[in-house]
Amino acid sequence: MKILFIFHEYNHTGATIVLYRNILWLKNNGIEPYLLITGHGSLENDIRKLGKSYNWHYEDDIIDTSTLFGRIRRKIRKNFPKPKRYKKVLFEQLNNEKFDLIYANTICSSVYIKELGFLNKPVIWHLHELELAINLLGREHLDIHDQVNCFIANSNATKSNLIKSHNIDGNKIIVHYPCINITDIQLKKDDKFDIVKALSLPDDSFIIGTSGTVFSQKGSDAFFMLIRIIEEIFPNNNFHYIWVGHNWIKFETDRDIELTGLKNKITFTGNLGNPVPYYQSFDVFLSLSKQESFGLAAVEVSLLEKPIVFFDKTEGLSEIFSDKTGGEIPYLNLNVMANKLIELYKNPDLRKSLGKEARNIGEKFDENIIMPELLKTITNIKNRSRKDAE
């Protein structure tokens, strides 16, 4: 089966990682992947290796001519189709591939779904966004929902929101949770101390970690407020806070660190190709998200037997985790959250038991459990479309 996959993001972010892993599994199980490349990022080279790729943009537009190498490449490509003809040539190439279906990822792929309508192929649209993200990225993306044969929702929360807030037919939406190859995430005794040493922290540091792009929806303001509360009610502690992920608001967080005097308490790692060693260093995983459709990082960390502490009413996380796996804190109640973290610090046995419960939950998201069901959905959409055409 030939499938054209569309990414809109090429960095190590949740939705991109989910699709990348899905394609790896599908490729090993009979799917022939093709890639429509619409941008650049740290995961781009790995994505291109998945299969034959087509560039959405005219090649000259994406060559960095600030370097000598880039200028040489541009000269070599002087006979490349001119910009005004590029889309025509691209569309002819795509049409000649005779794909069985199109699989688009995230709400931001709407423009590509719309323009590729001429291919007249069934469309599967994999959505990961809840309402805060949808409003941030643009509600108008979902105006094309009639062009979509099947929506893959990454959680029941995502499905419910598409029905309730956007009047999408629930019969067209199928929930498939993101998955993980759990053999890729294993406990390693020395990982914590490797990170502790790399950050020049005391050996007995208690590390509270979180993950995700740093901005308000992920709780960047609450992060600093929470730390201030902990410092006030539990001074002279050995806590250190690590945030794994791209920092969209570095100027703001740098200022917050300076004004709060917390420079020696906080580490922002930036985007990491392999965050697992940092996850292993955590004693507790903390989510400050205001709304989370799934929580891929939390599931990954749970496999390392770390307690998961998060706010209730954030939807997707509450589908998966609970007080039995860490702590489900009243929404934005930072005092309760601070006391929960201090309790977990003081009670290693409690941390251990909650971590084991968290791992039991995380193991349910193994790719060998979830991916066969996704493949079945893809096959059904293809067969249904073929039958409708006959």
How would you classify residue 326: left for phi > 0, otherwise alpha for psi between -120 and 50, otherwise beta?
Answer: left
- pLDDT for the residue numbered 11: 87
Give the H or E element holding residue 301.
helix 296-302
- pLDDT for the residue numbered 57: 82
Q: Same topology for domains 2-56+100-179+367-389 and 182-365, yes or no?
A: yes
- pLDDT category of residue 384 using cuts at 50, 70 and 90: confident
| Contact of 56 with 38, CB cutoff 8 Å | yes
**pTM metric for this prediction:** 0.89
Give the pair of three-digit tokens for residue 305: 């037997």
pLDDT, mean of residues 356-383: 96
C-alpha dihedral sign at 95, 100, 101, 103? negative
> What value does the mean pLDDT of the chain take?
91
- pLDDT for the residue numbered 2: 97
Please determine, for residue 234, whether its predicted confidence score (pLDDT) is greater than 90. yes
- pLDDT for the residue numbered 186: 74
| Contact of 327 with 310, CB cutoff 8 Å | yes
Please determine, for residue 197, whether its predicted confidence score (pLDDT) is greater than 50. yes
- pLDDT for the residue numbered 191: 63
d(CA 326, CA 311): 11
CATH number of 182-365: 3.40.50.2000
C-alpha dihedral sign at 24, 26, 32, 37? negative
- pLDDT category of residue 194 using cuts at 50, 70 and 90: confident
pLDDT tens across 287-308, in order?
A: 999 999 999 999 999 999 999 9
- pLDDT for the residue numbered 81: 54
Q: Which CATH architecture has domain 2-56+100-179+367-389?
A: 3-Layer(aba) Sandwich (3.40)
Domain ranges of the chain: 2-56+100-179+367-389, 182-365
Please determine, for residue 271, whether its predicted confidence score (pLDDT) is greater than 60. yes
- pLDDT for the residue numbered 273: 87
Neighbours of 330 (CB within 10 A): 12
Q: What percent of the chain has pLDDT over 90?
A: 81
pLDDT tens across 45-102, in order?
A: 999 999 999 999 875 445 555 566 656 665 655 555 566 688 888 999 999 999 999 9
CA-angle at 37, arms to 36 and 42, nearest 5°:
140
